[in-house]
Structure 1
Amino acid sequence: MHPLLKYSLRTVAGATVAGAACVAYAAAYEVRAYRLRRFNVPVLAPGSRPLRILHLSDLHLMPDQRDKIEWVRGLAALEPDLVVTTGDNFSHPDSVPLVLRAYEPLLELPGVFVFGSNDYYTPSRFNPTRYLWRKKGPRPLVSPRLPTERLRAGFAEAGWLDLNNAKGELKADGRRLAFAGVDDPHMHADRYEEVAGPADTSAEVTIGVTHAPYRRVLDAMVGDGYRLLLAGHTHGGQLCVPGYGALVTNCDLDTGRAKGLSRWGPSWLHVSAGLGTSPYARVRFACYPEASLLTLRSAL
């Protein structure tokens, strides 16, 4: 055999083995290696004591994911002052009781929520790599409906505030917090005009909540004076490049903000990489599933 041909075959074989190893790692380990990330957010008035927010997103819970349920339940030990979930809680019509079980100890705490498309519709089969070339923005939703109202009722019965195209306030740690939220912008369900108007600056902190962090929503919230913005949807890129990060966000947010904390004008934006995936793409690479504990502190 010619030496160059032999070298080429070895190269192809090596690449194939390495690729198979990456897929096995992404599907068998990383997708279940749940992590808690911690951030300090200097957004409170000088002299304020800290306020802790547990931010959860994109569980995409399926009936066979008992390990995820128990991990989420364990987050109650953090004793946050407020729980925020930014949607895509479940992906199967039988999962509502499981979502409520996962959140059960957290439902005893003050909380707010918005929904994502996979709180309304079951996911459809797709090739996850298509996000590398498809046009950014929402895709048509033709999947069967999920029992959304059962989940909404479960959250509401616990006293959690429904922020789907709604404003509201609640108390956490004895302090009044003001919110504005929208339904999922990724499926054009956001109606910001219904919540538009100056934020209540007499509150301890003003918070804008959305599932998908589309720029039109973030800009509107910042323009109205919301100083902390919380979102999910991106899965942190889900399939990332080590040392580089996300290649896509599945919305018009830049990839540098696919997860974590950043500035958005005068406000702070936190995007959760979430805890799940589509049931048809149960892989994560260089992007661990996560929940976040945000400690709000005095601004300097």
Structure 2
Amino acid sequence: MKRILLIGLLLGLALAGYGYWGALRDPTVRTATIAMADWPKGQPPLRVALLSDLHVAGPDMPPERLARIVTQVNALRPDLVLIAGDLVSDKRVSTHRYAETEAVAPLGGLRARHGVVAVLGNHDHWRNTAGMRRALEANRVTVLSNSVTRRAGLILAGADDDFTGRADPAALIRAVAPLTGPVVTLSHSPDIVPDLPERFGLVLAGHTHCGQVALPLIGRPATMSRYGDRFACGLIREGARTIVVGAGLGTSVLPIRIGAPPDLWLIELTAPAAPATAAAAR
């Protein structure tokens, strides 16, 4: 029995070590090209970087690591950077909790000609809503809360956090209604999707961490979504709508990742393909 317990302990430690190594990996850059309805005539394609769930906290995501990721993002030469919330983490096993100003300071190094736009997540609200907003704005990050802004011909509709009940889809719909152009919705949680009309054709989100742990045969024990695996991870198409859910950069609850490596997205937004013309009759 003692030998079995020892083997179980060693296997548990090995799995924890593997998970911690997975949490520290450089983020995978995932790419997609998405055609947008109402694309402005003559507008060139737009490169958008999507980051989510930074969860700055020790031991796995100190500000120094975030600064290295900022360098990685800048090397991709995005036109616009979007951040889908949860800038900080207060998990109980944290070895260091950074103040909002210290946590987001590396984001001031992001370089994109159309700027950086963010929404807040549940951890940001649990920590300090006003303080996080001030810290982001001090680093040239525009924060949206059930409101819109225009960037490079896009209507950016930023939802506040659905997980803590702060999202207001009706306010977003009203804000977008009088405007013309393609709509990109930025939300911490993808659970807002069913509450939005068809015009909100592209939704970018995080929150699920792609499960953070995704085991063979078992799958994801949790996605923190009331829709289960529907919006769990990656590029999802539902009719005319596209949803992109990032795995995020940091971790929550425990500093481990297994089967769900950290990632960021580089998305090219472009005009719909021109309809094929009929061949001339012979």
TM range (shorter): 0.7 to 0.9
Give the corresponding residue for 2:27.
35
Give the corresponding residue for 1:260.
234
**8 Å contact 1:72–1:103 — kept in the other structure?**
no
Q: Would you say 1:57 and 2:52 are equivalent positions?
A: yes
Amino acid at match of 1:58: D
Q: Would you say 1:239 and 2:213 are equivalent positions?
A: yes
Unmatched 5+ residue regions in structure 1?
1-7, 122-144
Amino acid at match of 2:154: L
Partner Cα separation in structure 1 for residue 108 and residue 140 of structure 2 = 12
Give the corresponding residue for 2:184.
207
Q: Residues 122-161 of structure 1: matches in 2 within 5 Å? A: 145-146=127-128, 148-157=129-138, 160-161=141-142
Q: Name the SS for the 2:163 alignment partner.
A: helix
Amino acid at match of 1:180: A
**8 Å contact 2:84–2:205 — kept in the other structure?**
yes
The structure-2 alpha-carbon separation of the partners of 1:10 and 1:297, relative to structure 1 and needing over 3 Å to count, comes to farther
Q: Residues 184-223 of structure 1: matches in 2 within 5 Å? A: 184-197=161-174, 202-203=180-181, 205-214=182-191, 217-221=192-196, 223=197
Correspondent of 2:15 among 6, 18, 22 = 22
TM-score, reference length from structure 1: 0.76
Deviation at 1:89, TM superposition (A): 0.2
May I ask how many residue pairs the two structures share in their alignment?
A: 259
**8 Å contact 1:181–1:209 — kept in the other structure?**
yes
Partner Cα separation in structure 1 for residue 4 and residue 135 of structure 2 = 55
Deviation at 1:224, TM superposition (A): 4.9
Question: Residue by residue, what CA displacement relative to the aligned partner does 1:142-193 show, whole Å, maximum 9, x if unpaired?
Answer: xxx43x323323433555433211122122xxxx110222211101111222
Amino acid at match of 2:122: S
Deviation at 1:229, TM superposition (A): 0.3
TM-score, reference length from structure 2: 0.80
- What is the alpha-carbon root mean square deviation over aligned residues? 2.8
Q: Where does structure 1 differ by over 4 angstroms across 4 or more consecutive aligned residues?
A: 8-16, 45-48, 198-201
**8 Å contact 1:40–1:297 — kept in the other structure?**
no
**8 Å contact 1:209–1:230 — kept in the other structure?**
yes
Give the corresponding residue for 1:132.
none
Deviation at 1:16, TM superposition (A): 4.6
Q: Percent identity?
A: 27
Question: Residue by residue, what CA displacement relative to the aligned partner does 1:98-132 show, whole Å, maximum 9, x if unpaired?
Answer: 333321221664122110111122xxxxxxxxxxx
Unmatched 5+ residue regions in structure 2?
91-96, 274-282
Q: Name the SS for the 1:250 alignment partner.
A: coil
**8 Å contact 2:183–2:202 — kept in the other structure?**
yes
